Structure 1
Amino acid sequence: MWTTCPECQGRGKKSRRLSKKVRLNYQIAFEEFEKTQGNGTPPVRPKANLYKCLNCNGSGLMESASFPEPDTENFPHVAIIGAGIGGTALAVACLHRGIPFTIYERDNNFSARSQGYGLTLQQASKAIEGLGIFSLKDGVVSTRHLVHTPEGKVVGEWGIRKWLQTDGKVAAKRSNVHIARQSLRLELLEQLGGDDVVQWGHQLVDFKECEDESLDINFLVNGEIKSTKADLIVGADGIRSSVRKLLIGDDITPLRYLDCIVILGICPLSALEGVDSSLLDSATVFQTANGNERIYIMPYTSDSVMWQLSFPMSEDEAKSLSALGPSALKEEACRRTQWHDPIPQILEATLATQISGYPVYDRQLLDSELLDKGGSSTLIGDAAHPMSPFKGQGANQALLDALSLARAIAKGCKPLSQWRKSGIRKSVLTEFEAEMLERSAAKVRDSADAAQFLHSDIVLHEGDEPRGRCLKKKEA
């Protein structure tokens, strides 16, 4: 069990004291600005440099005999809508800080529907430590990434194994960790004591803000309306978020089709009889492309791989193909990828029950002014900034959002903060949303760009670096 580190207040970082010179220069500049009676440009208040808290080694957490008791007197009660990766992560971060919460999910149980396939933890590898997970039981580390032509020619290679081969002095960079989405979700729920903590079968109907800025929230449960109250509602309910629809509406920022379809599958290595390939060593990620179709294959568990085939297609055709079901999707995938080994064998050995496909969408970047109107409500993860899967950033950003919001609540609603008087938006949400939107904006744009260049000749550029990096060099 965990609680927040007393030295850094759960932030994982501490602020260095501003030097006397910096403080004096700011004071002089501010006095000069005041003499202009507001006509000049105000000086920017200097920010203290942050450094890793050594007491908790940067996680913001310390082991504890028990979790903190929910502090209902000082903290807002948070209603979390959605028990996916972002929602469960937010619940965990609130638990560690004594922030009272209730998590609601429209599904009837944990396994009611597929929660996606595999994901790759990049920036969020550090964030999960801030959620009390210091080793992923089912995580698989990749140390090599290859790009091929359909004939099997390698046109790009990177990763720790490549760096160490070419230059023994190169420091090993942080590795990517691959994990099944449901496995990570289960580890987060275990932090909460199991999935009984989730209010299953709760479909959000609507919510309204009361005069005291608290919220009345209505759910449809077993055919009946059930009402509850909260101080803050957080939409963590995915790309078709009900909270977002009620808060902003679909017309202002509708789904934006990214001109391609994705077909996904999971194949156990045991199904590949007679296939001997170094690409299947459970530590290699590889992709193959021809300028139109592109397949990406990564370790899913220690004894299986996940593949993701994508190609351009009109929205109507993509919807129609997806609606035909797994068998049709498998047939289409096999037809388009008669390429080098072991790709045809992997697709052929994948059971139709382990295949799905969907048109790829994102949304236009949110304007903070749209969220400002939300009062005591906000969004995280795909509900706030959905993006294509081609940069592997959706889950990473959701985890970072969750930890950032919990830390913001702990800071903005601490004792004597008088947040009830000033409002949760002014005390917490405006600053949190500004940070979230700024951080995720580049990821949304890069993911949308990747949907285009990964299905063009750019992907076949010869160079030992990720495909987006060579494109940026050309543009520069």
Structure 2
Amino acid sequence: MKKSENEKAWTICPECKGLGKKSQKLQKKFRLQYKKALEEFEQSNKEGIPPIRPKAHLNSCINCAGSGLIRSEKFPEVDNENYPHIAIIGGGIGGVALAVACLHRGIPFTLYERDTNFEARSQGYGLTLQQASKAIEGFGIFSLEKGIVSTRHLVHTPEGKVIGEWGMRKWLSSVNQKVTKRTNIHIARQALRLALLEQLGGHDSLKWGHQLVNFKENDNKTIELSFQVNGKIQMAKADLIVGADGIRSTVRNLLIGDAITPLRYLDCIVILGICPLSALEGLDSPLLDSATVFQTGNGNERIYIMPYTSDSVMWQLSFPMEEAEAKALSAKGCEALKEEALLRTQWHSPIPQILKATKANQVSGYPVYDREVLTTELLEKGKQITLLGDAAHPMSPFKGQGANQALLDALALARGIYKGCGPFSNWKATGIRKSVLTDFETEMLERSAKKVKDSAEAAQFLHSDIVLLENNQPRGSCLKGKDLME
């Protein structure tokens, strides 16, 4: 069988060292300005604020078209001598992405997943790739066969009045308007996860059915891990642990403890469902063209409907509810959740039809939580341990940022390990925290903190009268007066 583009072997680009960008030479005048400022600072006995060394502009690498990867007959040989062996805990989007990025760099890893197989439990519903729609190329995925590009986003009142519209179709309708907006890719979470797993090519370092129980950092700078496997305890060793095991991360709990940054309830519940378009036969609606995202709200309930695959849609209904009630409703199961959703959304077509046609076994619901943003000081408790994705910075689903940030985390960490632990580094003596982890965590937490904050705010304003403002922008933009991606 002919390999698809996504199944080819890749290795890092030698021109940009896998970064996808190359530093442009700093102009002479900026170098001279910095040199002069530094001399004046030193002559003043270092009083005042020292000058900041100017950074050269980064250009996209021409050799790899910005992906950081080039084709190869085979993946790089695993370099056990120079690089740390990484134990990746969690086989979701972030964990598998990190494994793929390590594979491309010859960094040894073992990927541990508590589930017994790929289909063992639901891995969520649909997601939207925003910043990561370009970063996904850094994992050797240059086309998402099951990804859907939306070109129109509408906001309605319950009666069906359009009060907001944006997207490529709106922007292109104005001949004089220059379109520079990126497009969003909608894809089922499991489809993206499978695309990443296929990059591993059946790699034998993926261990299913391994539930982490404990770990211990040894004086010899190795870590012992304990896993429960088929009811028995199995031991393993690693040089670095990366917790990519979700919002209820075992690694995070063992490292920091749950009491310091407990789950934070965001005062609302989400009910999700998937409806095949074939179940809506005879229903003629321009909203069901597989390229339109639409949402409807009344200031309390809000539903968001997007393409899930080319022949199905995913809906997400959310509304405020006391935590105890939300837990109780979720525990009642799919039938009760569907019934609740139907009662709350007798709105314009095709919303009631979509919810009614959704099979109960395709419905789920849960209270929405996040956690307070971590500090680097808390993460420094682990000399050879770090976190990424929801384990590090869980957030509400209302800004569509969870998977995006996990992918960016994974690529940043793999690049950091490749640069900081190479053959000419001294990481074994200085420690991987100083060589890699501190810089990685600082950047990750700074980048994701705003996403966590905006997602928490969205959980409030999307269930308020703000959602009813007439404005051709995402609802967050209506609130803040700037262009935010929902």
TM-score range, shorter chain: over 0.9
Q: Distance in 2 between matches of 1:107 and 1:473?
A: 44
Which residue matches 1:247?
255
Do the aligned partners of 1:160 and 1:172 also contact (CA within 8 Å) in 2? no
**Alignment CA distance shift 1:45-1:212 (3 Å):** farther
Q: Distance in 2 between matches of 1:424 and 1:61?
A: 25
Which residue matches 2:454?
446
Establish whether residue 40 from structure 1 lines up as the match of residue 48 from structure 2. Answer: yes
The TM-score normalised by the length of structure 2 is 0.96
Equivalent position amino acid for 2:317 in 1: L
Q: Distance in 2 between matches of 1:120 and 1:194?
A: 26
Q: Distance in 2 between matches of 1:323 and 1:336?
A: 19
Establish whether residue 20 from structure 1 lines up as the match of residue 23 from structure 2. Answer: no
Which residue matches 2:296?
288
Q: Aligned ranges for residues 277-356 of structure 1 at < 5 Å?
A: 277-356=285-364
Which residue matches 1:271?
279
Alpha-carbon offset, residue 268 of structure 1: 0.2
Which residue matches 1:159?
167
Pairing partner for 2:427 from 414, 419, 423 = 419
Q: Aligned ranges for residues 33-432 of structure 1 at < 5 Å?
A: 33-167=41-175, 169-171=177-179, 173-194=181-202, 197-432=205-440
Q: Distance in 2 between matches of 1:112 and 1:180?
A: 16
CA RMSD, 1 decimal: 1.4
Q: Distance in 2 between matches of 1:416 and 1:12?
A: 22
Q: Distance in 2 between matches of 1:417 and 1:101?
A: 19
Q: Distance in 1 between matches of 2:30 and 2:383?
A: 37
Aligned residues: 475
Alpha-carbon offset, residue 373 of structure 1: 1.9
C-alpha offsets along residues 169-222 of structure 1, whole Å, 9 cap, x if unaligned?
A: 432522111000000000000000037542011111111111132211111111
Deviates most, 84-93 or 366-375: 366-375
Equivalent position amino acid for 2:349 in 1: D
Deviates most, 279-288 or 195-204: 195-204
Equivalent position amino acid for 1:138 in 2: K
C-alpha offsets along residues 31-80 of structure 1, whole Å, 9 cap, x if unaligned?
A: 33334445432222221211100000000000000000111111111110
Do the aligned partners of 1:140 and 1:302 also contact (CA within 8 Å) in 2? yes
Deviates most, 1-10 or 38-47: 38-47
Deviates most, 365-374 or 250-259: 365-374
Do the aligned partners of 1:368 and 1:434 also contact (CA within 8 Å) in 2? yes
Which residue matches 2:467?
459
Equivalent position amino acid for 1:454 in 2: L
Q: Distance in 2 between matches of 1:215 and 1:18?
A: 42
Do the aligned partners of 1:33 and 1:42 also contact (CA within 8 Å) in 2? yes
Which residue matches 2:4?
none
Deviates most, 18-27 or 93-102: 18-27
The TM-score normalised by the length of structure 1 is 0.98
Q: Distance in 2 between matches of 1:345 and 1:19?
A: 62
Please give the secondary structure, in 1, of the residue aligned with 2:316. strand
Please give the secondary structure, in 1, of the residue aligned with 2:104. helix
C-alpha offsets along residues 406-461 of structure 1, whole Å, 9 cap, x if unaligned?
A: 00111111111111011100000100111111111111111000000000000111
